[in-house]
Amino acid sequence: MATARVLFLAIISLIGLQQALVNATFASRMKCTWGYDNCQIGDDTVKLILNKWSGAAIEGFGDFIYGYIDMRIKLVPGNSAAVVTTYYTSSEWKSKDSDNHDEIDFEFLGNVSSDGTDFYYTLHTNIFVNGVGNREEQFRMSWYNPTSDYHNYTIFWNPYMVVWSVDGNAIRVFRNYEDQGIPFPKYKPQKVYTSIWNADDWACQGGAVKTNWTYMPFVANYLNYVENVCPYSGPNSVQVCNDLSNWYFNAQYKQLTADQLKTMNDIRSKYLVYNYCTDTKRFNGNFPPECSKPQY
Ligand SMILES: *[C@@H]1O[C@H](CO)[C@@H](O)[C@H](O)[C@H]1NC(C)=O
Ligand SMILES: *[C@@H]1O[C@H](CO)[C@@H](O)[C@H](O)[C@H]1NC(C)=O
Ligand SMILES: *[C@@H]1O[C@H](CO)[C@@H](O)[C@H](O)[C@H]1NC(C)=O
């Protein structure tokens, strides 16, 4: 593994990619913040463990505005009912009285298998801007097996859009319509986080199915991740990261290509099981304004 990493670093320096691209080792880039006995952080791998006594959470050291994170995750196999694994980026500018934080979420909601396969996770996505979320979309994860091998979950964030991808295929886009009064995350630095916890009060079939501790420990595995972000080192970075010279302002990152869009629409047509923009009952006809705008 160490040799592979040196080789990889040599290759990226040869082709002259910018310094912010880090084939990050977990040990140097992330720290445990909850469940110290249940975080196993190595150079290339992480295990986050949930047992009866605790879950576990780790977070990145560095703040950033824009870029992407590829996280490779192998979810808890077997009966993972009510076990929730999260992977998200979030700003920390929260206070007791006012929550104005930004956040981009992947959450994996475990389940019991009805037919003996592991193809039953729900992939939950959301985005918060200035403390307001309520933008959930959920997918039934049955186009691949998320527990038999590592899969690549990418959070891509630039001034034009936020894109959630699985194995390089976009599954969701949230476009920047700030000029039309719809808030978009642009000014607050975020960090990367991942965690595993017991959410049996709500996560599985609305709370009806509880975590079955017979199957503990529940282990989520992570393999070396990649980040290519604009690092935040102080208020000046807001301007630096919003400067047009950054790679993510290139025309090719303004919008999905026709091929990416086709693949995304194909996945969405088959596996999207919840979309806040079609939840008439919830919004009583008053959908959030982005629901009437194209998202790609
Ligand atoms: C992960 O997906 C991104 C695109 O979303 C791709 O550029 C990258 O090569 C993928 N990495 C791996 C290890 O599959
Ligand atoms: C779990 O599986 C059941 C039965 O297949 C399904 O109704 C439910 O939507 C799944 N997901 C969650 C998060 O409960
Ligand atoms: C937990 O799983 C065990 C082993 O399959 C089973 O015997 C038990 O009934 C399950 N418990 C609950 C509460 O479902």
Cβ contact 82:110 at 8 Å: yes
**Angle (nearest 5°) at CA 104 between 99 and 105:** 110
The chain-wide mean pLDDT, for the chain, equals 89
Indicate if the pLDDT at residue 3 is higher than 70.
no
pLDDT band at 115 (very low <50, low <70, confident <90, very high): low
Pocket test for ligand 1, best of 45, 150, 152 (most atoms within 8 A of CB): 152
For residue 143, report the distance from its CA to the centre of ligand 2, in Å.
16
Beta-strand ranges (E) seen in the chain are 21-22, 30-34, 39-41, 45-50, 56-60, 64-74, 83-90, 103-109, 122-128, 137-140, 151-157, 161-166, 169-175, 191-198, 218-231, 272-275
Indicate if the pLDDT at residue 199 is higher than 60.
yes
Indicate if ligand 2 lies below 6 Å from the C-beta of 142: no
Name the residue with the closest Cα to ligand 3, atom 1.
Answer: 212
Indicate if the pLDDT at residue 12 is higher than 50.
no
pLDDT in tens, 160-179: 999 999 999 999 999 999 99
14 burial level (CB within 10 Å; 0-12, 13-18, 19+): exposed
Please, where are the H alpha helices in the chain?
Answer: 2-14, 26-29, 236-241, 258-271, 280-283
For residue 149, report the distance from its CA to the centre of ligand 3, in Å.
26
Which structural domains are found in the chain, ordered by start? 21-292 (2.60.120.200)
pTM: 0.90
